[in-house]
């Protein structure tokens, strides 16, 4: 890992890409409009980024469709597609420091997290998706001797991808690697709050040998570029990661246009259940702190609701407060920093609003509190723990997406499950117990796409990632991700 001063020097020399990437080359927005990309750690401008709208989306979709119809990618032998995506994985790895720096400057996450998590995970995602291309087979239905029924999984055509800012490169990788592996062309609209790494990625994809038009990156705002992509008649599948509010809008746009399939990875309010038979409360507390304070709490699976059994609450809270001391906001370019600034002033205002509402509704602050913003010095919030919380409070119900933890208590297992499930969301849940039967019993009843037992947040490219209820429908990662980007077709032959 490079030192703080080395990252600072590298950041001075960094040249970011800021135009749209359409049909294999960088272009300005047709309107000529731009929007500023701001470093949230010091509020300085990094670049003026092409602000695309429906005209640019039309051009990008036309290029993607033309590439798909021509078969320059979709028609390549699987082995060849595999080679190109593997080369892209290598290029991301080789340019790992540059990509890490780009996301850190663009949205404020710590450089150590970029280097240790986002870059290796993104590389792995491309590698794994590439490796799977020539290992997925079709099926033959068992219909009898006088017929032959082939069940094929074909690419859908043009995939529109819309991504958030909290793990900019990684979320893009989770969408486009399986979509490309399945043979599709992609038009990606990255978040306007962190679009820069996606633009560089597109350039690297061309260098790896991806034919022009197969991957287009169109930066812009949600209500302009995003909406135009979601409404486009030539987009066959929409893959989205972001808030549940916008997810609901996209489903509407799909209904208004061509009924494209909409895959959603949305918000969360994940519960963390700490039972009195947990045999390592110290580890549970350290994990609980990491589950809400890492990446400044800007994590979809953040465990922002703790339900702790009354009999062990005092002991657990002492350990939690101690564990929280490890998280101190600082310059994200310093490898020692584990919490950077929030992404922008709007996010800081949201965090402040929820903390105020928690206090007004009777929450007891144990740590942190309303952020103290200093003009021009970044959008920093501190770890905040609020005790005396219950499910009727606004900050317990709604996703905050910041370092704010609600602590609630329970007495029985049934009560814990009911409280955990009492949410519009169902993304992740953590359960701490040394009783194997309880671990299974509780996991089975939790309304959640993912459950971690005696851990939190662990995953693997082989393991599906996603939620239920307002947290979403499809799954990223694993072979199940590939299913989202293919259409099933039967060919029924009478022999």
Catalytic residues: 265
As measured in angstroms, the least distance from the Cβ of 248 to ligand NAD is 10
SS3 assignment, position 397: helix
Choose which of 191, 309, 382, 473 interacts with ligand NAD (CB under 6 A): 191
| Contact assessment for residue 168 and residue 343, using Cβ atoms and an 8 Å cutoff | no
Residues with Cβ within 8 Å of residue 418, at least 6 apart in sequence: none
Closer to ligand NAD by Cβ: residue 243 or 421: 243
Q: Is residue 165 at the binding interface for ligand NAD, with CB under 6 A as the rule?
A: yes
Question: Given candidates 281, 300, 367, 482, which one binds ligand NAD under the rule CB under 6 A?
Answer: 300
Answer yes or no whether residue 251 interacts with ligand NAD by CB under 6 A: no
Report 168-187 residues binding ligand NAD (CB under 6 A). Answer: 171
Query: How far apart are the C-alpha atoms of 382 and 287, rounded to whole Å?
Result: 18
Q: Which of 363, 369, 280 is nearest to 319 (CA)?
A: 280
Query: Considering all CA atoms of the chain, what is the largest pairwise distance in Å, rounded to the nearest integer?
Result: 77
> What's the min distance (Å) between Cβ of 189 and ligand NAD?
6
The piece of 78-86, 216-224, 325-333, 358-366 that touches ligand NAD (CB under 6 A) is: 216-224
* Residue 163 binds ligand NAD (CB under 6 A): yes
The window from 61-69, 71-79, 220-228, 370-378 that contacts ligand NAD (CB under 6 A) reads: 220-228
Return d(Cα 388, Cα 237) in angstroms, integer.
Answer: 44
Is residue 266 a contact residue for ligand NAD (CB under 6 A)? yes
Is 427 a binding residue for ligand NAD by CB under 6 A? The answer is yes
Length of the chain: 495
Contact status: 117 vs ligand NAD (CB under 6 A): no
Smallest gap, in angstroms, from Cβ of residue 494 to ligand NAD?
45
Pair of tokens at residue 266: 């949305």
Q: Is 71 exposed, middle or buried (0-12, 13-18, 19+ CB in 10 A)?
A: exposed
Alpha helix locations (H) across 185-225?
Answer: 196-208
Contact by Cβ (8 Å): 58, 31: no
Q: Does 447 sit near ligand NAD (CB under 6 A)?
A: no
Output the CA torsion 123→125→126→128 (10° steps): 110
| Whether 188 contacts 216, CB under 8 Å | yes
Query: What 3-state DSSP class applies to 79?
Result: helix
Cα–Cα distance measured from residue 204 to residue 210, given in angstroms and rounded to the nearest whole number:
9
**E strand map for 66-141:** 139-141
Which CB atom, from 223 or from 440, has the smaller least distance to ligand NAD? Answer: 223
Stretch 48-87 residues interacting with ligand NAD (CB under 6 A): none
Question: Which span sits near ligand NAD by CB under 6 A: 8-16, 219-227, 353-361, 365-373?
Answer: 219-227
230 binds ligand NAD (CB under 6 A): yes
CB nearer to ligand NAD: give 128 or 167: 167
192 touching ligand NAD, by CB under 6 A = yes
CA 339 to each of CA 105, 110, 268, 444: distance values in angstroms, whole numbers, following the listed order: 14, 6, 20, 34
Q: Residues 88 to 107: which contact ligand NAD by CB under 6 A?
A: none
472 binds ligand NAD (CB under 6 A): yes
CA distance 343 to 439: 36
Q: Select the residue interacting with ligand NAD from 81, 399, 402, 404 (CB under 6 A).
A: 399
Min separation Cβ 362 and ligand NAD, Å: 26
DSSP letters spanning 325-344:
TT--B--TTSTT-SB---SS
Q: Which is nearer to ligand NAD, 267 or 378 (CB)?
A: 267
- Quick one: 95 or 109, whose CB is closer to ligand NAD? 109
Q: How far is the CB of 246 from ligand NAD (least distance, A)?
A: 3
Structure tokens at 473: 């429908």
Binding segment for ligand NAD (CB under 6 A), chosen from 19-27, 223-231, 355-363, 380-388, is 223-231
List 29, 62, 130, 162, residue binding ligand NAD (CB under 6 A): 162
Distance CA 107, CA 188 (A): 18
Examine residue 249 and tell whether it contacts ligand NAD (CB under 6 A): yes
Options 208-216, 222-230, 288-296, 331-339: segment touching ligand NAD (CB under 6 A):
222-230
CA distance linking residue 170 with residue 181, whole number of Å: 16
Residues of the shown chain interacting with ligand NAD in the complex, contacts defined by CB under 6 A? 162-166, 171, 189, 191-192, 221-223, 226-227, 230, 241-243, 246, 249-250, 265-268, 300, 399, 401, 427, 467, 471-472
């Amino acid at each position: 890992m490079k030192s703080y001063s080395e990252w600072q020097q590298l950041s001075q020399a960094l040249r970011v890409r800021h135009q749209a990437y359409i049909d294999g080359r960088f272009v300005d927005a047709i309107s000529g409009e731009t929007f500023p990309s701001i470093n949230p750690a010091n509020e300085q401008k990094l670049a003026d980024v092409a602000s695309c709208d429906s005209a640019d989306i039309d051009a990008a979709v036309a290029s993607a469709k033309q590439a798909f119809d021509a078969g320059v990618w979709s028609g390549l032998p699987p082995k060849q597609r595999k080679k190109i995506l593997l080369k892209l994985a290598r290029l991301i790895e080789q340019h790992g420091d540059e990509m890490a720096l780009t996301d850190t400057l663009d949205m404020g996450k710590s450089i150590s997290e970029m280097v240790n998590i986002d870059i290796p995970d993104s590389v792995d995602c491309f590698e794994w998706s590439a490796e799977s291309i020539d290992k997925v087979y079709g099926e033959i239905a068992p219909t009898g001797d006088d017929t032959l029924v082939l069940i094929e999984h074909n690419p859908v055509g043009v995939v529109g991808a819309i991504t958030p800012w909290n793990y900019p490169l990684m979320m893009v990788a989770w969408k486009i690697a399986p979509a490309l592996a399945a043979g599709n062309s992609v038009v990606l609209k990255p978040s306007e709050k962190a679009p820069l790494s996606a633009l560089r990625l597109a350039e690297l994809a061309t260098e790896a040998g991806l034919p022009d038009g197969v991957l287009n990156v169109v930066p812009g705002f949600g209500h302009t570029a995003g909406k135009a992509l979601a409404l486009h008649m030539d987009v066959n599948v929409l893959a989205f990661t972001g808030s549940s509010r916008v997810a609901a809008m996209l489903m509407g746009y799909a209904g208004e246009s061509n009924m494209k399939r909409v895959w959603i990875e949305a918000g969360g309010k994940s519960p963390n259940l700490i039972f009195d038979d947990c045999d390592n409360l110290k580890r549970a507390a350290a994990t609980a702190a990491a589950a809400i304070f890492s990446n400044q709490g800007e994590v979809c699976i953040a465990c922002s609701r703790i339900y702790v059994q009354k009999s062990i609450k005092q002991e657990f809270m002492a350990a939690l407060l101690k564990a929280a001391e490890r998280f101190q906001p600082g310059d994200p370019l310093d490898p020692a920093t584990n919490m950077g600034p929030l992404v922008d002033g709007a996010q800081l205002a949201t965090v402040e609003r929820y903390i105020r509402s928690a206090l007004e509704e009777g929450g007891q602050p144990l740590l942190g509190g309303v952020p103290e913003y200093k003009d021009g010095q970044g959008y920093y919030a501190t770890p905040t723990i609020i005790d005396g919380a219950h499910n009727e409070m606004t900050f317990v119900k709604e996703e905050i997406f910041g370092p704010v933890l609600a602590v609630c208590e329970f007495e029985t297992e049934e009560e814990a499950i009911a409280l955990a499930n009492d949410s519009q969301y169902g993304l992740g849940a953590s359960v701490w117990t040394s009783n194997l039967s309880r671990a299974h019993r509780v996991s089975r009843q939790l309304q959640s796409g993912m459950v971690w037992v005696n851990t939190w947040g662990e995953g693997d490219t082989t393991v599906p990632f996603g939620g239920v209820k307002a947290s979403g429908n499809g799954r990223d990662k694993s072979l199940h991700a590939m299913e989202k980007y293919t259409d099933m077709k039967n060919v029924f032959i009478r022999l």
